[in-house]
Structure 1
Amino acid sequence: MQVQVDIGFDNNELKELESFLLLAPTFSDKQIATINKTRKAINKWRPQKGSRVKL
């Protein structure tokens, strides 16, 4: 099923936007691995929900 939403773009503008998005740079597998490793390290450092930081 295909749904079309009218957001004020004409067909030509949609094609240009689609081309732009498809040609945009992407992350390499190595960059994604680095991002995931960094995210895990930050999550370990952050206090867990519900815990209080003692001052």
Structure 2
Amino acid sequence: MQFIEVGYEENHVHFLIQSVPSLSVSEMCMKVKSIMAKEIFRHFPEVKTKL
């Protein structure tokens, strides 16, 4: 998976991702969400208590 472009607005993020055809869209989404959650919780631990 390669992130081609990342954009954001006030309450959400847009990703343009390039990947191999063997990954389904749902698999890519699960991987991206998992990585993002880990990084957000690592940088902002207080977010985890609010969720």
Shared topology, TM-score over 0.5? no
- Give 1 or 2: higher strand fraction: 2
- Give 1 or 2: higher helix fraction: 1
TM-score when normalising by structure 1: 0.36
Larger gyration radius, structure 1 or structure 2: 1
TM-score when normalising by structure 2: 0.38
